[in-house]
A and B are shown apart, each in its own frame.
Chain A
Amino acid sequence: MLQAILESAFLLVAFGVGLYSYKTLNLLYKVIFYQVVIAVMVYVASYAITTYQRSLKIPENNQWLFNVYVLLEAVLLMTAAWIFFRERKLAWLIAVGFLIFLLAFLYQVYDSGFFQFVNYALVTEGILIVVFYLIILYIRFTSPGYIWYRSPEFWLCIGVTIYFAGIVPFYSMLKYLYTHHQKLSGILFHLINDVLGNVRYLCIALSFFLFFKQASAPTPAQHELV
């Protein structure tokens, strides 16, 4: 139980802050919030499924659930990036990226079956998400008068980028580790995925908070003089 709490601490913080500030969020941040909600639901569901399977003494396998989650996560994160890009006529990048991810996903499902985790699709998703969110970061940094530490987008992009960039080496070797070093695979999973996941959701919680704060701040009075 303690392990579950430690793994999901900042996910719950992000969920709480997002729920509190939901009314002030714009479309992009609402999509990110939906991704957080789905992450919470998947986490709870996976825990319930493995507990149930353990109680029935049948092999534990919730990888199919995470395959669904990978697909939904990719759709939502790319949709958030698309919302940002469509104002700058870069939406075609998202379409191309999603197509590449979908091809990787479908190929791995076809090759390994739906009940094997699609780690290569996740790696593809990770690389694409890092590219998209770094582009968002670049566009923001080169905007005039940009104060990075007060910007919700900075923290969102940094959190997402750190997570997806950090998990690429581990998930690339997941199949090998699971086959030859199962125990080590479990340790590394908690070390890399959970730690980076907490960093990601902490940054997302901060971005929700900053957005809420900026949306709630009163606008200064304006004086019109020749």
Chain B
Amino acid sequence: MSSSDIILTISFTTLLILLLIAGVTISFFIAGRQATKQQMELTNAKLSYEKELRKVETEVSEHLMQQFAHELHDNIGHALTCIRLELENKKLDDPTLVTLLAPIETHLEDASQQLRLLSRSFNTEYVTHINLIEAIQLEVERQRHLKKFAIQFEHDHNNPVLDKNQELMVFRIFQEIIQNAIRHSKAKNLVVTLSNAPTFALEVSDDGIGFSVDETLNSPRASGLKNMKKRATMADLHCEIISTPGSGCQYKLKKNVAAVV
């Protein structure tokens, strides 16, 4: 073999091998990008599925609440109305019964009022018809009648910045917070603060016994808190729970930072 043949052979083979290595590296790069793309598509599909599932869960839950509200109003409300009419008839038949029946009428009126408020709070159509401030005010009034704790509601009178679906989610979260306060907190006082400017924020604080947030969230009995989190995510809101045993509890519901920016 002549020198030029040797140089040519070695150069050509070396170049070929280096090109092969380059080709292999490029194919790895393409394979990596495809794997990343597939991973992203899978993640997006999972997120879409979970979002749809949450949406369906919420729709079913709202539908059941709506049915319950109608049952309360139509059946039990009707029964209470019949009782009131009977009492009126009895008073007309025997005027001496007026004094005797007065306390019963008071309790009946109270029960009707409570039923009306409860029915409205469960009625999705009613809640979405009025604005968030009025809906929370409604719930606050209902809780004041129950006299479980002293409840104070402050708001900035600004126009709502959330859409109707978000307002409904916020209201349901607020109801969940109130239920938790009634069932678990042993609180004497509850303060509710709502502001719509410069950005939406709802804060609910109580002076109850408090709890360990991380421990509770990891336990199976945290379905209410997890529901709150799901609803907040669906409404594109941020839900923060600050509590330690013995120090009460604070719930903060705000618009997502990215959305604010």
Interface residues of A (CB under 8 A from B): 130, 134, 137-138, 140-146, 148, 158, 161-162, 165-166, 168-170, 173, 177, 180-181, 184, 188, 192, 225-226
Contact = CB atoms under 8 A, between A and B. Distances in A.
B101 interface: no
B25 A158 contact: yes
B18 interface: yes
Contacts of B106: none
A188 B10 contact: yes
Given A165-B21, A177-B6, A141 B14 contact: no
B28 A141 contact: yes
Given A184-B7, A192-B10, A226-B240, A130 B28 contact: no
A141 B21 contact: no
B17 A165 contact: yes
Interface stretch (B31-39, B111-119, B133-141, B180-188): B31-39
Interface of chain B, main secondary structure: helix
Interface string B211-250: 0010001000000010001000000001111000000000
9 nearest interchain CB pairs? A141-B32, A169-B13, A141-B28, A142-B35, A142-B32, A138-B28, A165-B17, A165-B21, A169-B14
B10 A144 contact: no
Interface string B171-186: 0000000000000000
A184 B31 CA distance: 41
B29 interface: yes
A143 B36 CA distance: 8
Contacts of B35: 142, 144
A5 B171 CA distance: 76
Contacts of B13: 169
Given A134-B24, A137-B25, A170 B14 contact: yes
Contacts of A144: 35-36, 39
Contacts of B96: none
Q: Which of A144, A158, A192 has the most CB of B within 10 A?
A: A144
A162 B22 CA distance: 9
Contacts of A138: 28, 31
A141 B240 contact: no
Contact of A169 (B10, B31, B36, B240): B10
A226 B29 contact: no
Interface in B1-46: 1, 3, 6-7, 9-10, 13-14, 17-18, 20-21, 24-25, 28-29, 31-32, 35-36, 39
Contact of B241 (A146, A162, A226): A226
Contacts of A148: 29
A164 to B, nearest CB: 10
Contacts of A170: 10, 14
Nearest to B21: A165
B25 A145 contact: no
Q: Which of B1, B7, B28 has the most CB of A within 10 A?
A: B28
A170 to B, nearest CB: 5
Given A130-B21, A134-B24, A165-B20, 15 more contacts: A134-B25, A142-B31, A142-B32, A142-B35, A146-B32, A148-B29, A162-B18, A165-B17, A169-B14, A181-B6, A192-B14, A225-B240, A226-B213, A226-B217, A226-B239
